[in-house]
Structure 1
Amino acid sequence: MHLLPLPAFEDNYIWTLRDDAGRALVVDPGEAGPVLCAAADGLLPVGILLTHHHHDHIGGVGELLERWPDLPVIAPDDERIAIATRRTGDGDRVEVAGWGFDTLAVPGHTVSHIAFHGHGLLFCGDTLFSLGCGRMFEGTPAQMLDSLERLAALPGDTRVCCGHEYTLSNAAFARVVEPDNPALMRRIEEAQAMRQSGRPTLPSSVAAEREANPFLRIDVPAVRAAIVGQTGHPIRSRVDAFAALRRWKDGFRA
């Protein structure tokens, strides 16, 4: 089993999971070009998994179906993803060409966002990022917090396959929130070295995100104190803490 992110657009990743024969699942192909280039080197798509409806995650599917018209396209139950051939929802098991994934509903970034968990991997689209989380375009803070905590409860060695290369930009915010976190400082140094050598900072791991991602650490006293210091008033609940942290990040400029 070989896991490879294909860079797309400015900072997207199209994830591919292939076997030794080159047969591959393709996750969130926002554009077809990177997949077609990989196909020239032996990749043979056998299925497409989609986490949510945004164009930078589904825009390449039509062109891929022109090349491989029998590909199953597995997506959340959302009419905005018209090219789906199969729908999946929370608790469903997805089986494609010998690979099996559990579907997790993770609303927040969008209301119908899902993630796929299996084989020690988590394809989480734009819900959980390394050192960050997605913006809430459609969901509520309560939904997003619940989704993130659901992902954080997965086994620590689960590899987190996010939809974007946002680690260093997220790191700039995370170090303002929790500057004395040694795990965060180690992760930043690691990510800087990876990018300087032209490597992706992903996949991360659930354990690493628990240790360093401020959006998974809202109960940590230092993080809670930073939120209170930023807002200037007491935090009434965990949802309020998360919402305030996300608003802070939305307006943050390094």
Structure 2
Amino acid sequence: MDSPSGCAASAFFHYDNGSRSQKVAVRLLKNFKGYLQSDGHPIYDAFEDGEDVCLCGCLAHIRRHIELCKEENLEYAMQGLKFIQDMYNVEYMADKQELPYEGRAELRQRLSKPMLDSFELWLKNTYPKVLKRSLMGKAIAYAYSLLPRMKPYLHDGRIFIDNNRCENALRPLVISRKNMLFCGNHEAAENTAIICSLLGSCKERGVNPREWLNDVISKLPYYLAPKSDRDLKELLPDVWRK
């Protein structure tokens, strides 16, 4: 995915025999270094104390849990959502001003940090007032556990406030999966993940997938020829676009 400063990246989908276990994530990201942004799924806890990986949280997932509490406790839900909306307003302000990532980080330090601190205090003070097993109790516990992962975004404008770009890239695949009900077998699912990765990367790079496919398919025989010294990476959407 791209960053708030507009640096584009690529989409990557991975299928591992239907598993979403921690060992799959560790194996897939064993050589990864940098910011790793995700929801609060426990599989990412394995990277909590890593020297080369900084876990970043997603404010949209925190908001989603609190929104579910409106019918149960509207007063507290609206209080929590107000803190979150205020932090999003800072992002809208940075977008409107077209701030570079250094300027976005400075704005977050000045405006968003006090908001996040106040939100943390509200969570601590509100939790004893609700039932732990209630929707609000669970939402507060979820939000509070992820607050340490929200703090890196305050210091680096390249980090999004949420991972909605990844969620949006995943949505078409999820909808297709529900419509298809199944891929047929594990091999077909793996192939689907590869195709979705390539087409998703086209979308992120602003590449017309039809033009890319037509051109790549016509060139593949030359790249796959026995004596060819051409690198298939040249056909990936980000390189092809250049």
**Which category describes the TM-score, using the shorter chain as reference length?**
under 0.3
Higher RCO structure, 1 or 2 (CA under 8 Å, sep 6+): 2
More helix by share: 2
More strand by share: 1
Q: TM-score, normalised by structure 1?
A: 0.27
